[in-house]
Structure 1
Amino acid sequence: MMLSARHAKLAVGLIAIALTAVQFAPLALGRNLFEISLLGVHVGATTAIVFLIFGWRSRRGADDPVSPADVVCALLALACAVYFYFQGARVAERIEGVDEVFASDYVFGLVLIALLLEASRRVAGNVLMGLAAAFIAYVFLGPYLPGPMGHSGMSLMRFVDLQVLSSQGIFGTPISASANMVFYFVIVGAFLERSGAGHLFVDLAYCVTGRAWGGAAKASVVSSGLFGTVSGSAVANVLVDGVITIPLMKRTGFSKDFAGAVEATASTGGQLAPPVMGAAAFILADIVGVTYGSVAYAAIVPAVLFYLSLYVLIDSYSRRHGFGPNNELPVAAALKGFRERWHVLLPLGLMIYLLTAQYSLMRVGAISLAAILVISWTRSATRMGPKDIYEAIVAGARGAAEVAIPSAVAGIIVGVLVHTGMALHLERWILEIAGGSLLISLIGAMVLTLIFGMGMPTAAAYLVAAILVGPALQNLGVPALPAHLFIFYFAVLSMVTPPVALAAYAAAGISGGSLWNTGLIAFAIAVPGFIIPFAFVFDQGILLQGDAFNIVRTVGTATIGVVATAMASGGYLFGPLGRPARVALFVAGVMLIAPNETTELLGAAVAGSILVWQLWRSSQARRAAVQTL
């Protein structure tokens, strides 16, 4: 039976409310749910949501009905959620590989796997689904494969036992992070956005940068960075923030392609910026086995360097092309808007405090939601009514679905890798290909992660790359946190890496510019972001780890290097830079970012020479101007 768009929205809303209730149930009950009960509901409910909002080929429009086949799939997903919810006590007590696998386990397990494969195709594209299908086939074809690729195989009973009745399959670490960490921050972000935080960040950005050189573009950088801490999605950031900032950039003289590229790069960086980074950062914390606060702390300097490079590049570019302060920017209106909404920042500050105070993430989420509601009611401009609350819950559940599905499918891959022995073979192959070279391994990991990111959301790209190359990096001596942050950064930066730069393409759709040119410019603007991860792998001082002197030296030289590369890219340092000077300054900047005393000294010498030369040229130009007068 065809489901009308109206009834589909209602169904999504009811599922979202039920999912949210289960996620926060432990606080009301005073005890935790069985792990498989929580994870079963999380996976089943989000899978049902995907079939109701995504069609066979693309996301459904607001008025599109749901086909009978998709209604059946959604109902089957909900049935799986109910089944696994009631298996909690049994699974907690059973012994994996020893206790019996029931016939109902086969039925619901295999149905859930099939539904997840199709849901992942709709959410994350063909790449992730194809990988998962290939790994499942590998389980049963192992005995027939030659050489090290082969393995002893696995019975269907053992496969179902592994995938749906253990913690090393679908209900493993990736989906556990999605349910126990990501969900709470996605729902908080949805409530913050609905309370007016998005408008507040834009207003704040124009108040701070509106009268500066390239003010509209700088406002895009500031607002997108701030909004990114709430949305956690580069494309969503572009679509919400870009509709305001891109037209203003175009009106102040920036080209369509450059305006779109700035917004895409700034929006992408939001996932790198603490205190609330993208969903993949929460999954990273769970995989590495550290608190999310440790991840956010380590990411502070790299995020600052990324946005500093973008801000300086825009300033340099604007001065070179004469995009001076513009009195037409809506600074007065932005100031008024900021005064009306500034209080919605208070819950964000409270959430940061609760995170640093080591509260459970569920409690952090609950307290933050309560604070958002109470504080939003203090002024009419931000007051959340029942409709706003309902829409925020639905938006949060929909956002969680787009993380949960790739996470569950990544769990399938992890289970296969571990139980067939392929993980060890893969690790050995990577090390052999790299010849034991850390640099070559890092370049390979970067390329692989960028390729995955071209066809998957950030969380999915990070998960697959972390599974495939993370252990190899750690075997080469890279500590777990820097190794996984390296992979995470390139999963994020894939959003602005051609040929499939999703954030850049979303921005081009708003600006009316060329998809290809916007993607290439966004990639060029983000280049310092590609250098920083290599630097913090070789020296963790940039991650604020190690002795104080080394941290100060490494962060100081990296900051100067980032400024130098940004000015070289923008083409201005106390006057226009010629092409040879730009190339030399860019190379000097890279040398300063590289954590090596010799390269740092060489880079400082080159950059210092160019600075002196530019100062001398600038003074000569001023003297000539005075003499002309």
Structure 2
Amino acid sequence: MSRFLTYDALWKTLQALLSTAYVAFLVGQFFRPASPLTAASFHVFMATALVFAWTPLEWRGRASRMAGRLLDIAGVSLSLMVVVLYASEIFRLERRFEMIDPVLPVDILLHVLGLVLIFEAVRRSVGWSLLAVVLAFLAYAYLGPWFPGLMRFPGFDLSTQAELISMKTDGIFGVTASAAINFVFYFVLFGSVFTITGGGQLFIDLAMRMTARLKGGAAKMSLVGSALFGMVSGSAIANTTSTGVLTIPIMTRSGYSKEQAAATEAIASTGGQLMPPIMGVAAFVMSDMLGIPYVTIAAAALIPAAAFYFALYVIVDLRARKSGVGDVAPELLDIPPVIPRLHLLAAPIAMIATLVAGYSAPYAALVGTAIALVAPVLRKSTRYNIRQLFETVLDTARQMAWISAPLAAVGVVMVVATQSNLALKFVRLLSDMGTGNLYLSLLLVIFGCIIMGMGLPTVAAYIIGSLVFVPALMDLGVDRLAANLFVLYYCVLSMVTPPVALCSYAAAGIAKADANKTGLLAFGYSLVIFLVPFGFINDPHVLWQGNPAQIAVGAAGMLLATFCWAVFLIGWLRGTLTLPERGGFAILSLALVVTPTLSTGWLISVALAGCLLFWRFGLRPRFVTA
């Protein structure tokens, strides 16, 4: 037993040393950046080493356990060896001429060994689904000449593959690694510091104060808490586990089934990836791929995210009024005072203000992190133990490792998709199938995104979707930013779509609910997402483009459309809707998003929606009573 304890202690020491070195290097990148290839190679394989360190094999039986430990040690050691080998070869790699200078045996070794390590890290961090897709693309790179028709391409051998994937700032060291180093890390660090120093709990307590006494307050608490927490975390899983441990038990005690409570928390937390100012990893990758400042993307996403949460709120409210469940019992309202802790909000406020002022996203995140460290010290009641700071280092390194290994693997997909002209082939295919019709093409893209989302994490689904679907949408006249956000919205469904529904499964674990039932129920709730992207495809004002009046009218139209859509989905508004009434709400919601804002058709739709609402709230009760 003492040997096992000694091994565990040594392993924890290894985790601490690797995490500290990794976080210190990435922080140093802001002040004195290394060359892109140097930084990317260190980042990718240190993250790989950390996955092996933080996700050891847990085989049963003494012999199996020993074999697992040897494999874990080998994974960490080989990953660190690859870091050292890249460092020793970096001078040559940065100065060689692509496709002219020879590919050396050490390059082949680094390529093969590096991919094996990354692939195992992907399997440990997100499972087989993404790994299967990456391996399929890698096989396509070899077997391209044997594919028939449109899918045929010359392919490339091992030497060319090494040159394209692992010897330059492309592939595993490309845009995904760059986004992780230059954007994602700083916001993960801020989210970790803010949460551990008390900010995360403050958001949850604020949500409870705001909603607990409302109709259906248990579920509304989950929505508001997840929206607030999502603003600073951007991680759907972190959102689910942080807010779900409090909100799910309250929802189940308020009358919701375990599956309903878990599904509500899962879809609410999934929206955190869409909620500015800190959106999910995919938004940072989008910024890097499009060459658009992150603050522009965050501003464009604000109104659609608000519409998404507004629709969820309406659904929760109507469901509570229809079923009579969801009110929070008075004995559960023992909430600590929030006013003495409001100074903790200085950190996110300062970060948002810095972003709006035009400073870079990493700088804004570091400003927010510094204030998150200082603000709690200002009052005795919010002071933290200095040892908690080391927890932020470990938490940041762990989160970055689980994010970065899949991102590196997706770099393989990007290279193969680019070299095989897969995007152009899909444009031709979509043109043939969609017959040039925008809405039919959008429906085909939605279908493709959902299929990918059933097996891939959000960021992986988005990157592949941006390579394959976005060019096709742009060919149909859709704005580039709108096309990317359209794909992102439907790829976000990956977090709640079985069989790989990470948010749903995390929430189900907290609720001790059936995971598959929770996933299916959460996917049903996610139908509120379906309408929002059509709104910004047809009205760029919704993406914060235009003058204030145009933006305000576009936002009002989207909120009205999502309200009608939510009423249609629930089928209840001050009583059960008749079939014509429900159909009317569905048709009007669709009309509001497919007709240009302030056009004659749009104005007629607004007027008819007003009449239908007046009927439900004013005339119908009197008519029925009479």
Scaled by the length of structure 1, what TM-score is found?
A: 0.90
**d(CA) in 1 for partners of 2:613 and 2:149?**
59
**CA offset digits 1:55-110 (Å, max 9, x no partner):** 5589xxxxx88521121112111122233244444433332222333332222222
Number of equivalenced pairs: 615
- Structure 1 residue 392 displacement after superposition: 1.1
Does residue 112 in structure 1 map to residue 114 in structure 2? yes
- Of 251, 255, 258 in structure 2, the residue corresponding to residue 256 of structure 1 is 258
TM-aligned CA distance change 1:26 to 1:178, over 3 Å:
closer
TM-aligned CA distance change 1:414 to 1:516, over 3 Å:
closer
**Quick one: which amino acid aligns to residue 40 of structure 1?**
S
Residue 403 (structure 1) aligns with: 403
- Structure 1 residue 449 displacement after superposition: 1.9
Residue 22 (structure 1) aligns with: 25
**d(CA) in 2 for partners of 1:147 and 1:568?**
44
Correspondence 1:147-546 to 2 at 5 A: 147-323=149-325, 326=328, 328=330, 330-331=332-333, 333-336=334-337, 338-546=338-546
**d(CA) in 1 for partners of 2:488 and 2:521?**
22
Residue 132 (structure 2) aligns with: 130
- Structure 1 residue 303 displacement after superposition: 0.6
- Structure 1 residue 620 displacement after superposition: 5.5
- Structure 1 residue 529 displacement after superposition: 1.2
Please state whether the residue corresponding to 2:452 is helix, strand or coil.
helix
Please state whether the residue corresponding to 1:254 is helix, strand or coil.
coil
Does residue 12 in structure 1 map to residue 15 in structure 2? yes
- Structure 1 residue 145 displacement after superposition: 4.2
**Quick one: which amino acid aligns to residue 439 of structure 1?**
Y
**Quick one: which amino acid aligns to residue 9 of structure 2?**
R
Residue 627 (structure 1) aligns with: none
**d(CA) in 1 for partners of 2:460 and 2:56?**
20
Residue 102 (structure 1) aligns with: 104
TM-aligned CA distance change 1:102 to 1:593, over 3 Å:
same
- Structure 1 residue 490 displacement after superposition: 1.3
- Structure 1 residue 575 displacement after superposition: 4.3
Residue 49 (structure 2) aligns with: 48
Contact 1:496 1:519 (8 Å CA) reproduced: yes
**Quick one: which amino acid aligns to residue 38 of structure 1?**
A
**Quick one: which amino acid aligns to residue 49 of structure 2?**
A
Residue 62 (structure 2) aligns with: none
Please state whether the residue corresponding to 1:385 is helix, strand or coil.
coil
Please state whether the residue corresponding to 1:582 is helix, strand or coil.
helix
Moved more, 48-57 or 383-392: 48-57
TM-aligned CA distance change 1:341 to 1:141, over 3 Å:
same
Moved more, 476-485 or 40-49: 476-485
Does residue 35 in structure 1 map to residue 36 in structure 2? yes
**CA offset digits 1:40-65 (Å, max 9, x no partner):** 1110111111122335589xxxxx88
TM-aligned CA distance change 1:75 to 1:313, over 3 Å:
same
Please state whether the residue corresponding to 2:335 is helix, strand or coil.
helix
- Structure 1 residue 225 displacement after superposition: 0.9
**d(CA) in 1 for partners of 2:330 and 2:415?**
58
- Structure 1 residue 386 displacement after superposition: 3.7
**d(CA) in 2 for partners of 1:522 and 1:146?**
39
Residue 555 (structure 2) aligns with: 555
TM-aligned CA distance change 1:149 to 1:105, over 3 Å:
same
- Structure 1 residue 330 displacement after superposition: 4.4
**d(CA) in 2 for partners of 1:198 and 1:233?**
13
**Quick one: which amino acid aligns to residue 486 of structure 1?**
F
**CA offset digits 1:173-226 (Å, max 9, x no partner):** 122111111111111111111111221111101111122111121111100111
- Structure 1 residue 580 displacement after superposition: 4.3
TM-aligned CA distance change 1:142 to 1:510, over 3 Å:
closer
Contact 1:228 1:271 (8 Å CA) reproduced: yes
Please state whether the residue corresponding to 2:387 is helix, strand or coil.
helix
TM-aligned CA distance change 1:346 to 1:89, over 3 Å:
farther
**CA offset digits 1:405-435 (Å, max 9, x no partner):** 1211111122222234444334433333333
- Structure 1 residue 228 displacement after superposition: 1.6
- Structure 1 residue 500 displacement after superposition: 4.3
- Structure 1 residue 496 displacement after superposition: 2.4
**Quick one: which amino acid aligns to residue 322 of structure 2?**
R
Residue 61 (structure 1) aligns with: none
Moved more, 444-453 or 171-180: 444-453
Does residue 591 in structure 1 map to residue 594 in structure 2? no
Structure 1 stretches of 4+ moved >6 Å: none
**CA offset digits 1:253-272 (Å, max 9, x no partner):** 23333222221111111111
**d(CA) in 1 for partners of 2:431 and 2:94?**
38
**d(CA) in 1 for partners of 2:558 and 2:115?**
46
**CA offset digits 1:521-548 (Å, max 9, x no partner):** 3233322211111221232222122455
**d(CA) in 2 for partners of 1:312 and 1:557?**
16
**Quick one: which amino acid aligns to residue 564 of structure 2?**
A
TM-aligned CA distance change 1:350 to 1:89, over 3 Å:
farther
**d(CA) in 2 for partners of 1:324 and 1:523?**
20
Contact 1:19 1:45 (8 Å CA) reproduced: yes
**CA offset digits 1:355-386 (Å, max 9, x no partner):** 22333344333333222111122234443434
- Structure 1 residue 599 displacement after superposition: 5.2
- Structure 1 residue 9 displacement after superposition: 2.7
**d(CA) in 2 for partners of 1:327 and 1:69?**
51
**d(CA) in 2 for partners of 1:421 and 1:590?**
35
Q: Quote the RMSD (CA, aligned, Å).
A: 2.7
TM-aligned CA distance change 1:289 to 1:581, over 3 Å:
same
**d(CA) in 1 for partners of 2:413 and 2:212?**
49
**d(CA) in 2 for partners of 1:620 and 1:6?**
74
Gaps of 5+ in 1: 59-63, 625-629
Moved more, 82-91 or 403-412: 82-91
Contact 1:562 1:593 (8 Å CA) reproduced: no
